[in-house]
Chains A and B, each alone.
Chain A
């Protein structure tokens, strides 16, 4: 299968503008960008995709081995850039994809013009003096919460959800489909997301970087955003007056504004 099918790649917006590649985070799929895409699309060529195992990606391309480390996902991002021949890319990574973006940019810095790290955390688990905000037990508790909520996930319904997202008559069954993942895949992704430690990768970033955080975010608290800002040399930090982990939903105008100012500014 080609990259467009494998990652459900969607290209939209101003063809003449710079390329802005949006990488969604843990939990849902590219639909999470939908409130800011219109604003970005006026100026930029916007490229959206689903990580393998999420949304409408090709689930058969998923393997526990490849996707038990963020490197597998970073590989995919570079793969998309190569196959679509994207150059001078502005890579925007939300949540776990912020670290995926860091890994991809460190591997092929010449490919990327700028990085935007949206509510990033290089390490969710506390370690010595470092406060990620969570303990190993908390992560186990999350896995339990995932398990409880996927009892309703039905293997029988999955093909319907994957194949017919545009058929409104299936609306009732399709509710929640943006954040629906095969439980086995969700479990591995949760572990990969919350147990990875990419603190050492931050200092290796050479691409101009913007860190965007929310004033109140239970997943990526402000001291973690500050840590990322301190570690990435020359980075800018913007703190949005927003609550939660998904400012592209809770404060779309401010989020799009911060991205535009960074991409088009200077």
Chain B
């Protein structure tokens, strides 16, 4: 029977008319159901099919029943999926639901469907027939394809962003550290995120004669804004280092540049250690200036370690006139120094606990004799151990004087 919405009986009216409304023909219910029905032998041969499914396929009953099997109705790719996933699962489980495949109509068109199947067995439990319900999934599939496309697009975009961040990061760090005569040097950069450019930086470069300059620091914030500041800092420090032999003077110059560049707009500042080092007898003398940065760790040949505090040094770029503190350290044969950023010393070790500068000092004491690469390796292991606790980027720079036994590098 056909009826428009207006002809539907109201709630209270169902009663005497009910038998007339109910579909009395099971055949009609089967044949003209709003989904496809299909019965197959265990080997896939179709033995019964309803009119709805025949209409979707554009085929005559006689051409299908006893002549075709379920996989024959599918696209070739779908057939492989049927043989390698659908059939074995159905055999093992006795039922299977919601498998997305495509029918191939007589006219060659593809018709996306969802298949749900159950196996009926005879008295001895042997599979007798497979009943399959076929749902029209054209709209759904179009929507899913949109989702897949969007996901693929998002993945491509993410790759691009990571590549960009990596490339940008590389321009902010020296590709390889130069060889410093009479010293061993090593550095490491641990990015906390693949998507963002970090705000940590370091560099090592020759100055006049046998003197070398180096720095390591941390810019406030991260991402592309931090990258702009890092770039400015790196070139300013390298420029200032050439004409000002006083490390505190180099930092004062950087302070002026940063303060003026970002005054009034979006304040940008950094913490930094800047130093110069030159050979001194069988060791080296280092002059280190600090602007609000975490203390370096000085490691002695005998395995003792201490923090080199430069108390009173202020953030660079925050105030028009900043104060910087300078210390001089002599490295004897077998001694080393480690500069690092606070990604390491602010790593979370518990709900309310963080890895401290003192923890780091204690961890590194006992390396005898310490070498630059040995120190970096030790800290690297530490970073791996802290795992997800390391929430910020971490930059490391270590310098060491080879011990007398190992000779000069």
Q: CB within 8 Å of B: which residues of A?
A: 25-28, 31-32, 34, 95, 134-135, 138-149, 151-152, 175-176, 178-179, 194, 216-219, 243-246, 249-250
Contact across chains for A179 and B85 when beta carbons are under 8 A apart: yes
| Shortest distance between the CB of A127 and any CB in chain B (Å) | 17
Contact across chains for A175 and B93 when beta carbons are under 8 A apart: yes
> A138-B76, A141-B76 are known contacts. Are A151 and B88 too (CB-CB below 8 A)?
no
10 closest A-B pairs by beta carbon, nearest first, are A141-B77, A27-B84, A142-B77, A243-B43, A148-B100, A138-B76, A145-B81, A245-B83, A249-B91, A142-B80
Q: CA of A31 to CA of B89 in the docked complex: distance in angstroms? A: 10
| 22 A-B residue pairs with CB within 8 Å | A138-B77, A138-B80, A140-B77, A142-B76, A142-B77, A145-B80, A145-B100, A145-B101, A146-B81, A148-B101, A148-B112, A151-B100, A151-B147, A243-B43, A243-B44, A244-B44, A244-B83, A245-B83, A245-B87, A246-B87, A250-B42, A250-B87
Instruction: Give the contacting residue for A145; candidates B71, B78, B87; CB below 8 A.
Output: B78
Q: CA of A178 to CA of B92 in the docked complex: distance in angstroms? A: 9
| Shortest distance between the CB of A19 and any CB in chain B (Å) | 25
Counting contact residues on chain B (CB < 8 A from A), the size range is: 20 to 34
B61: interface (CB < 8 Å): no
Contact across chains for A149 and B84 when beta carbons are under 8 A apart: no
Contact across chains for B100 and A149 when beta carbons are under 8 A apart: yes
> A145-B101, A151-B147 are known contacts. Are A28 and B85 too (CB-CB below 8 A)?
yes
| Shortest distance between the CB of A109 and any CB in chain B (Å) | 29
| Shortest distance between the CB of A221 and any CB in chain B (Å) | 11
Q: CA of A151 to CA of B140 in the docked complex: distance in angstroms? A: 12
Q: CB within 8 Å of A: which residues of B?
A: 42-44, 71, 75-81, 83-85, 87-89, 91-93, 96-102, 112, 141, 144, 147-148
What residues on B are CB-neighbors of A146 within 8 Å?
81
Nearest chain A residue, comparing its CB with the CB of B76: A138
Contact across chains for B83 and A218 when beta carbons are under 8 A apart: yes
Contact across chains for B85 and A246 when beta carbons are under 8 A apart: no
Instruction: Give the contacting residue for B71; candidates A139, A144, A148, A218; CB below 8 A.
Output: A218
What residues on A are CB-neighbors of B96 within 8 Å?
175-176
Q: CA of A152 to CA of B98 in the docked complex: distance in angstroms? A: 9
| Shortest distance between the CB of B322 and any CB in chain A (Å) | 49
Contact across chains for A148 and B77 when beta carbons are under 8 A apart: no
Q: CA of A148 to CA of B80 in the docked complex: distance in angstroms? A: 14
Nearest chain B residue, comparing its CB with the CB of A179: B85
What residues on B are CB-neighbors of A144 within 8 Å?
77
Q: CA of A141 to CA of B88 in the docked complex: distance in angstroms? A: 20
Instruction: Give the contacting residue for B81; candidates A32, A142, A250; CB below 8 A.
Output: A142
Q: CA of A147 to CA of B148 in the docked complex: distance in angstroms? A: 8
Nearest chain B residue, comparing its CB with the CB of A95: B84
Nearest chain B residue, comparing its CB with the CB of A135: B76
Contact across chains for B89 and A145 when beta carbons are under 8 A apart: no
What residues on A are CB-neighbors of B43 within 8 Å?
216, 243-244, 250
